[in-house]
Amino acid sequence: MEDQLGALGIVLNCLVLWNTVYIDDALRLLREQGYPVLDDDVARLSPFIRKHINVHGRYSFQRPQLGDGRRALREPDADDADDED
């Protein structure tokens, strides 16, 4: 049981790090493109979001070709239809 809790802690730490890096990238890009990013709104963001993480199912451990090392961000005005489920 302790091993499972330790593994869960590692996964949670990785999730928070991943989300923090991409939230920072998204905020930087929005500011560069002139979108109004309010400090009060940024203060309410949380790196604990997890809807986009697949915890069940199939996994691919092949290294993707990411060019600069990160996945591309969505355009700020893109349709969010995929995020509604």
Domain ranges (residues) in the chain: 1-52
pLDDT tens-digit readout, 21-62: 989 999 999 999 999 999 999 999 988 877 767 667 666 667
pTM over 0.85: no
**Cα–Cα distance list, 51 to 1, 21, 55 (Å):** 25, 16, 10
Mean pLDDT of 53-77: 72
Cβ-contact 22, 52 below 8 angstroms: no
Q: Contact 76/35 with Cβ under 8 angstroms?
A: yes
Task: Give the Cα separation of 50 and 15 in Å (integer).
Answer: 8
pLDDT recorded at residue 34: 93
Give me 76's structure tokens. Answer: 């700020």
